[in-house]
């Protein structure tokens, strides 16, 4: 409270003050304020250029569209081979690199009316090859790499399970036929609930037929991206609604929505 008072006195004296530095950072340490993650429209409008860009978004209806009271449009994305480079099952941080230009595609999504949610199968956890903590570090690295390019995803849901038991080093409690492993849609239903998502206005994007099957199972339009496994996994006999060479092309599909 003391710092907030100092902040107000500065304003009254017409002196320069900064809400983030003079209040938020200090109060964060004292744990009297809390933060939460939001998919709604939040932007710095502190310079004339930024202010006019926000005005444009208001006029284009993007601010209203991203209000969670309104049903959300979402692009669901696979992780490996779609956002980061496919290296089989990624186990180590040094295996994580972004897929060519995936950050450009995500940035286009971020600037659109669509929110973006990653849905990924990570059976490496059930196999005992990657711990929950290591998986968190890998996901953080992907977010950091995207962040360097000014891109982000709004949330990530993963399935740590695997259906077949009997391997050395595995975690038996995670070895069962769960409802969340793609192409099952339990993770999509959780996301739908959390973000008020309208499935009829969504796309599922991925580099395998399993991703396309997931989108089909959830009643969404599907996009095969020819990076990573390039749709050559041969697991499901499904046809995507759209095929793109990389995430950069996703803006053409969103624009035509």
> Among all residues, which ones are annotated catalytic?
78, 80
Which of the choices Zn ion, Mg ion, none does residue 161 contact, using the CB cut-off of 5 to 8 A by kind?
Answer: Zn ion
Strand, coil or helix: 119 = strand
| Pair 152, 110: CB distance under 8 Å | yes
Q: Where are the beta strands (DSSP E) in 105-225?
A: 114-121, 155-159, 203-206, 221-225
Interaction mask 175-214, Mg ion, x per CB under 5 A: --------------------------------x-------
Which of the choices Zn ion, Mg ion, none does residue 162 contact, using the CB cut-off of 5 to 8 A by kind?
Answer: none
Applying the rule CB under 5 A, the residues between 59 and 78 that interact with Mg ion are: 78
How buried is residue 160: exposed, middle or buried, by Cβ count under 10 Å (0-12/13-18/19+)?
buried
* Separation CA 56–CA 84 (nearest Å): 32
Site for Zn ion, rule CB under 5 A? 159, 161, 178, 180-181
| Pair 200, 218: CB distance under 8 Å | no
Interaction mask 39-58, Mg ion, x per CB under 5 A: --------------------
Q: How far is the CB of 185 from Zn ion (least distance, A)?
A: 11
Q: Which is nearer to Mg ion, 194 or 230 (CB)?
A: 230
Asked if residue 80 binds Mg ion (CB under 5 A), the reply is: yes
Q: How far is the CB of 78 from Mg ion (least distance, A)?
A: 4
Q: Which is nearer to Zn ion, 41 or 89 (CB)?
A: 89
Q: What is the DSSP letter of 201?
A: G
Q: Which is nearer to Mg ion, 66 or 184 (CB)?
A: 184
| CA 34 distance to own-chain centroid | 22
Nearest to 116 by CA among 163, 169, 154, 82: 154
Residues that bind Mg ion (CB under 5 A): 78, 80-81, 207
């Amino acid at each position: 409270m003391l710092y907030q008072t100092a902040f107000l006195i500065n304003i009254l004296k017409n002196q320069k003050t900064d809400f983030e530095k003079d209040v938020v950072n200090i109060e964060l340490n004292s744990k009297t304020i809390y933060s939460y993650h939001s998919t709604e429209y939040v932007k710095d409008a502190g310079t004339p250029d930024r202010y006019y860009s926000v005005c444009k978004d208001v006029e284009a209806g993007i601010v209203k569209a991203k209000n969670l009271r309104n049903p959300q449009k979402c692009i669901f994305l696979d992780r490996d081979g779609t956002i980061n480079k496919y290296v089989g099952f990624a186990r180590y941080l040094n295996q994580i690199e972004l897929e060519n230009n995936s950050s450009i595609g995500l940035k286009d999504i971020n600037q659109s009316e669509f929110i973006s949610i990653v849905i990924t199968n990570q059976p490496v956890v059930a196999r005992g090859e990657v711990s929950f903590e290591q998986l968190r570090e890998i996901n953080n690295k992907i977010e950091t790499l995207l962040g360097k390019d000014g891109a982000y995803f709004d949330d990530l849901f993963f399935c740590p399970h695997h259906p077949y038991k009997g391997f050395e080093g595995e975690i038996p409690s995670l070895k069962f036929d769960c409802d969340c492993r793609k192409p099952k849609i339990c993770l999509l239903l959780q996301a739908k609930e959390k973000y008020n998502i309208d499935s009829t206005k969504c796309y599922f994007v991925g580099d395998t037929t399993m991703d396309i099957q997931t989108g089909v199972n959830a009643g969404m339009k599907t996009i095969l991206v020819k990076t990573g496994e390039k749709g050559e996994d041969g697991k499901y006999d499904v046809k995507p609604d759209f095929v793109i060479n990389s995430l950069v092309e996703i803006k053409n599909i969103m624009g035509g929505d």
